[in-house]
Amino acid sequence: MQMFSPTPKADPPVLPQVPRPSTPTPPATAAAVAQAQSGILSSGVSIKGSVKFSTELIIDGEVEGSITSSGRLTVGKNARIRGEISTRSVVVHGTVDGNITAAERCELHSGCTLRGDIEAPRLVVDEDATFLGSAKIATGPKPAAKDS
């Protein structure tokens, strides 16, 4: 019985490389895009100065200074804001010491505290919200009536 054969075996044939079809990337959902474009300042974060953002920001920490945006601001339960807020819409769950100007809507949820004035076309105030200030609720000028 011979263990080693005197003739070498031929190498196996090399097959051509065929590119594998790539897995298509699933289309991004609106919620995923919105989440990717939003920011969060978590509890324990403290900012002194002005804050500017474009789409959406959730603040659960402390901010001392102005907040300006054309987007949506959510003030979390642990948040404490000392300064002016000027955004498209504001939802308050925490504490705000300063005036709020909202282009579309302002919501004061149960348990929140606002010491300042509000100017917005729509205002929602929950039953257990604390609001010390004045509110100017006004929509834009009405278009002139057409004569028939």
Whole-prediction pTM: 0.70
pLDDT value for 38: 78
Helix (H, G, I), strand (E, B) or coil at 135: strand
**Model pLDDT for residues 90-136, shown as the tens digit of each residue:** 999 999 999 999 999 999 999 999 999 999 999 999 999 999 999 99
The rounded distance, in Å, linking the Cα atoms of 53 and 37 is 10
The rounded distance, in Å, linking the Cα atoms of 122 and 24 is 43
CB-based contact 72:55 (threshold 8 Å): yes
**Model pLDDT for residues 66-90, shown as the tens digit of each residue:** 999 999 999 999 999 999 999 999 9
The rounded distance, in Å, linking the Cα atoms of 112 and 121 is 20
What mean pLDDT is reported for the chain? 82
Residue 114's CB: how many other CB atoms inside 10 A?
A: 27
Among residues 125, 126, 123, the alpha carbon closest in space to that of 139 is found at 123
